[in-house]
Chains A and B, each alone.
Chain A
Amino acid sequence: MKMIDKNGMPTEVLLVEDSPGDVRLTQEAFRDANAGVHLHIATGGVEAMTFLKREGNRANAPRPDLILLDLNLPKMDGREVLAHIKGNPALNTIPTIILTTSDAEADIAKSYLLKANCYLTKPVELDTFETLVKSINDFWLMKVRLPQETPNA
């Protein structure tokens, strides 16, 4: 089980999710899968952008290595957040995975058009959800070579 990456740094994951139940499930699943993950939570789109732009009380936020993004968020929805991330040269190389309940083709197509790195439909069953988080960890945090932050970002 990977504890830290090769630079000795923890892996920073930003979860953008308004459902407290899903937040908790995700926290627990990551805790079981990989002790080296720092999971940061934003419960809406506005909070997510504040985190990513390191504004206000998030001035010391780390740059995420990976973003997990729900589409259906209050006030600023996930599609807007995705468009902001992928439209911003300082942020658009951060792998951004849509993790949402919708399995509507329109949502899937739109997300890939907006340059989501991947789309995952949240399963309803508890243990399948846990398995999904573990497969995210196994693939994205243990196998994939993630981009490093560039000095100008």
Chain B
Amino acid sequence: MKTKAQTGRAKEVLLIEDSPGDVRLTREAFRDADASIHLHVAADGVEAMAYLKSDGNQPESPRPDLILLDLNLPRMDGREVLAYIKADAVLKTIPTIILTTSDAEPDIAKSYQLQANCYLSKPGQLDAFEVLMKSVTEFWLKAATLPPRLKA
């Protein structure tokens, strides 16, 4: 299901999340998955923008293969970050998954209008959260064919 170029390479995942607890859970869930994942974390929208604007030229901030984005972030709201990503010629093809506590219909609708690739409501219980992150790994990092990495 994957092109030869896509298998055998670590996946770069950018998690944009201000809750240290959720960052840790995500890190652990990805570590348990057998895919090779490099998890980068931005703790708010401003940090996320700085990471994404670095053009993937810094070795410590490579272009993500996948972005997980919380809507409720300090300093710059996740909706603004989403809008920026999906308007940017270079960033807009990166699959961007909203991963947030809200399950309000207006938040869901707005995210899809802003072209989020999909929307996930974070469950409150630990094991449900782990199951959810595992399904993200299984679908996006194993089953799906991600956009090809741009040649430098």
**CB within 8 Å of B: which residues of A?**
92-93, 95, 103, 105, 108-109, 112-113, 115, 117-123, 128, 132, 135-136, 138-140, 143-148, 150
Contacts and interface: CB of A to CB of B under 8 A. Distances in A.
Contact of A135 (B3, B95, B138, B145): B138
B135 A103 contact: no
A2 B119 CA distance: 19
A92 B132 CA distance: 26
Contacts of B32: none
A132 B120 contact: no
Contact of B3 (A93, A103, A118, A138): A103
B143 A135 contact: yes
Interface of B: 1-3, 5, 92-93, 95, 103, 105, 108-109, 112-113, 115, 117-121, 132, 135-136, 138-140, 143-148
A93 B120 contact: no
Contact of A144 (B105, B115, B118): B118
Contacts of A140: 118
A105 B5 contact: yes
A113 B93 contact: yes
A112 B109 contact: no
9 contacts: A103-B3, A117-B117, A118-B95, A119-B144, A132-B1, A143-B135, A144-B120, A147-B109, A147-B119
